[in-house]
């Protein structure tokens, strides 16, 4: 069979998953009577809700006499490690670029990985049917980006296809009248441009997992491309481990991909993307070989974590009200299970009831918390901190490339707010209504910045950041919130009367009728100090009518907090209590008197 292995790479929200949907539909992969969702590749609920791809997914379509394996990659920088490893599974990439937005930071990031792996690129300009598209400028941007990233002559000579994945149309011309309801230009270009896998099916077996998956029936499985040879179910093979040792095991199951289904197969040979199970602790970058032909492939680099936070057992007075999985043993089991699948995650026991969990960024960790919450867990998590490395006695911290697009009238305030956070501007490009700013900022300077940025740009700004490198530690002390909080000093239910009296003090996070406890954060203070408040106080009822007629209390809407905003918001002496039904902000020390004594010591 003729095989082509290709990955789709793009910036977040440029339409990768929608394009894969269309390729699946138009290749006849789905039967007419088969039902399927929109964005079929986003298989978990969080991916569907947020419209982002979190986990790389493999699918296969049959077009004419070809089997085209397509890997849908995450566009977000927190999952960049996966993108890099996927480049070792494929022979070509489809770079998808939005016809209006053009190249973005993650476009640069994912394209660099593809060019470094010497892959053949195909450029698809997507969303050409929208208003205000800048097709010619965007192609110039893409060409400039290829040159910037040091692409060779062959890579720069890339084919371009114009498409609207949402409408299912594409063509070879930028003229919108040539758009037809077909994806054939993309299929034909893949067949013509992307080379067939170079492996030899008759050579000794060589297979290297680039991704991991896990399920309760077969345990851990390695997913990757068979570089050489053939593998069969039941065959005894060797695994060259990362430390150089060799372990023999029996291939228990083999999985191939067709459409969006993972199917069990009996054998597979060079060039095919498969999942292999049988070795319970198989790891990314190890090499599965024929016994007697143990020769390791180059080890794949796994991105190091840059951010850590503490996960702990919920110790609030409301522990156990919402969730069913509360104990330290259950939380530890769940974190260990996540390690089976996620190679970029690290978990270290801190004490009997808490763990330091390290990941690639706030999104990476918040998605783990969100998944645990939905499964019925209750836990409390601390403010994220960057991981400091020490090399030859010198301390290093992570830095990020930041790209900002904001309305012209807000540029000054954005620049002012990034200066104390250690940001260094590398480029500035003013347009008619918006300005693009490029910065290098220490990762710690970005903790808590997103929330501030939304306020500064009144919600019209776009910010993207990707990990750049570890650089010398700066003494910039940032990340703590400037304003204080309103903290409940009583247990009970909040009342309209009490909240109405406190409205002048700041912005509330709760509405009337909410259960609160001592030490719970109920709002933001207007000043920079914390204030203990009584939100459960009710109005004294007397049997004398007041001269001014009683009127209904009209309260402002409370500020709603998402998990990411909550993690961004808290200071180092605070925690986020996460339950299946809600998030609460709280102080680490709940007792008001003890907290005052602790603050006085500082």
The DSSP call for residue 330 is H
CA distance 539 to 341: 55
Query: β-pairing, 160-164 with 120-126?
Result: parallel
The answer to whether residue 590 scores a pLDDT higher than 90 is yes
H/E segment holding residue 394 = strand 394-407
Q: Which two tokens stand for residue 271?
A: 């060039």
Reduced to 3 states (helix: H, G, I; strand: E, B; else coil), residue 69 is strand
Least confident of 193-197, 408-412, 443-447, 510-514: 443-447
Q: Which two tokens stand for residue 365?
A: 């960790």
Tens of pLDDT, residues 106-129: 677 778 878 888 888 999 999 888
Tens of pLDDT, residues 418-451: 988 889 999 898 888 889 899 999 988 888 787 7
pLDDT band at 176 (very low <50, low <70, confident <90, very high): confident
The answer to whether residue 208 scores a pLDDT higher than 50 is yes
Q: Say how many CA atoms lie within 13 Å of 447 toward its Cβ.
A: 27
Q: Classify burial at 394, counting beta carbons within 10 Å of its beta carbon; exposed 0-12, middle 13-18, buried 19 or more.
A: exposed
| Neighbour tally for 428: CB within 10 Å | 13
**Structure confidence at residue 155 (pLDDT):** 87
For residues 130 and 54, the model is more confident at 130
CA distance 430 to 228: 52
pLDDT band at 410 (very low <50, low <70, confident <90, very high): very high
H/E segment holding residue 368 = helix 362-374
Query: β-pairing, 307-312 with 354-359?
Result: antiparallel
Average of pLDDT values for 514-541?
A: 90
Q: Which two tokens stand for residue 392?
A: 């030859």
**Structure confidence at residue 318 (pLDDT):** 93
Q: In terms of Cα–Cα distance, which of 142, 119, 17, 14 is closest to 73?
A: 17
Average of pLDDT values for 533-538?
A: 91
Across all residues in the chain, what is the average pLDDT? 85
Domains annotated for the chain, with CATH where assigned, are 2-193 (3.40.50.300), 206-289 (2.40.30.10), 307-386 (3.30.70.870), 389-472 (3.30.70.240), 485-601 (2.40.50.250)
Q: In terms of Cα–Cα distance, which of 465, 427, 387, 350 is closest to 80?
A: 465
Cα end-to-end distance, the chain, whole Å: 71
Residues forming beta bridges with residue 428, ordered by sequence position: 437
Average of pLDDT values for 465-494?
A: 84
Tens of pLDDT, residues 258-296: 877 788 899 899 899 999 999 888 888 899 999 988 888
Q: Which two tokens stand for residue 371?
A: 């998944």
Least confident of 14-28, 132-146, 297-311: 14-28
**Structure confidence at residue 48 (pLDDT):** 47
**CB within 8 A of 269, min separation 6: which ones?**
199, 201, 226, 229, 230, 231
Q: Classify burial at 104, counting beta carbons within 10 Å of its beta carbon; exposed 0-12, middle 13-18, buried 19 or more.
A: buried
Residues forming beta bridges with residue 467, ordered by sequence position: 400
Q: Which two tokens stand for residue 17?
A: 């998953």
**CB within 8 A of 144, min separation 6: which ones?**
none
Q: Which two tokens stand for residue 380?
A: 């409390």
CA distance 545 to 549: 8
The two counts, helices (H) then strands (E), for the chain are 15, 36
The string over 327-356, giving b where at least 16 C-beta atoms fall within 10 Å of a residue's C-beta and e elsewhere, is eeebbbebbeebebebbbbbbeeeeebbbb
The answer to whether residue 392 scores a pLDDT higher than 90 is no
pLDDT band at 56 (very low <50, low <70, confident <90, very high): low
């Amino acid at each position: 069979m003729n095989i082509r292995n290709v990955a789709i790479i793009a910036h977040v929200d440029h339409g990768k998953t929608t394009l894969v949907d269309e390729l699946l539909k138009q290749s006849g992969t789905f039967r007419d009577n088969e039902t399927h969702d929109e964005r079929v590749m986003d298989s978990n609920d969080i991916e569907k809700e947020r419209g982002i791809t979190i986990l790389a997914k493999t699918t296969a379509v049959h077009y004419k006499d070809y089997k085209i394996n397509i890997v849908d990659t995450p566009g977000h920088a927190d999952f960049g490690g996966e993108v890099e490893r996927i480049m070792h599974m494929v022979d070509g990439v489809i770079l998808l670029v939005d016809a209006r937005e053009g190249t973005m930071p993650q476009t640069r990031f994912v394209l660099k990985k593809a060019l470094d792996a010497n892959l053949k690129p195909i450029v698809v300009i997507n969303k050409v049917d929208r208003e205000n598209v800048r097709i010619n400028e965007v192609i110039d941007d893409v060409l400039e980006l290829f040159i910037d990233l040091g692409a060779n002559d062959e890579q720069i000579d890339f084919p371009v296809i114009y498409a609207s994945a949402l409408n299912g149309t594409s063509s070879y011309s930028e003229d919108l009248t040539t758009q037809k309801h077909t994806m054939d230009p993309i299929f034909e270009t893949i067949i013509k441009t992307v080379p067939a896998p170079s492996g030899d099916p008759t050579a000794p077996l060589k297979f290297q997992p680039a991704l991991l998956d896990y399920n309760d029936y077969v345990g851990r499985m390695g997913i990757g491309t068979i570089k050489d040879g053939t593998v069969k179910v039941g065959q005894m093979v060797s695994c060259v481990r990362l430390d150089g040792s060799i372990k023999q095991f029996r291939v228990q199951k083999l999985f191939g991909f067709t459409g969006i289904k993972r199917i069990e197969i009996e054998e597979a040979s060079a060039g095919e993307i498969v999942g292999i199970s049988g070795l319970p602790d198989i790891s990314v970058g190890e090499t599965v070989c024929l016994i007697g032909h143990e020769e390791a492939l180059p080890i794949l680099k796994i991105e190091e974590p840059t951010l850590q936070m503490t996960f702990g057992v919920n110790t609030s007075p409301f522990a156990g009200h919402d969730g069913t999985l509360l104990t330290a043993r259950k939380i530890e089991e769940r974190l260990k299970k996540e390690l089976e699948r996620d190679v970029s995650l690290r978990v270290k026991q801190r004490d009997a009831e808490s763990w330091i969990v390290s990941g690639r960024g706030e999104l990476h960790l918040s998605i783990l918390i969100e998944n645990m919450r939905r499964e019925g867990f209750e836990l409390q998590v601390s403010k994220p901190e960057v991981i400091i490395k020490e090399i030859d006695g010198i301390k290093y911290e992570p830095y990020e490339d930041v790209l900002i697009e904001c309305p012209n009238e807000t540029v000054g305030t954005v620049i002012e707010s990034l200066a104390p956070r250690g940001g260094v501007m590398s480029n500035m490009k003013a347009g008619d209504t918006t300005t693009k700013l490029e910065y290098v900022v220490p990762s710690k300077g970005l903790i808590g910045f997103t929330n501030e940025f939304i306020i500064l740009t009144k919600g019209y700004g776009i910010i993207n950041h990707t990990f750049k490198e570890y650089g010398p530690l700066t003494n910039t002390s940032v990340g703590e919130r400037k304003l204080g909080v309103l903290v409940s000093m009583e247990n009970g239910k909040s009342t309209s009367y009490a909240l109405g009296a406190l409205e002048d003090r700041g912005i509330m996070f709760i509405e009337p009728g909410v259960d609160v406890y001592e030490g719970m954060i109920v709002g933001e203070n207007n000043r920079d100090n914390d204030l203990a408040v009584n939100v459960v106080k009710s109005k004294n009822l007397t049997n004398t009518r007041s001269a001014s007629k009683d009127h209904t209390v009209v309260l402002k809407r409370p500020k709603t907090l998402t998990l990411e905003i909550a993690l961004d918001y808290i200071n180092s002496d605070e925690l986020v209590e996460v339950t299946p039904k809600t998030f609460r902000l709280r102080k680490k020390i709940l007792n008001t008197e003890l907290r005052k004594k602790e603050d006085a010591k500082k």
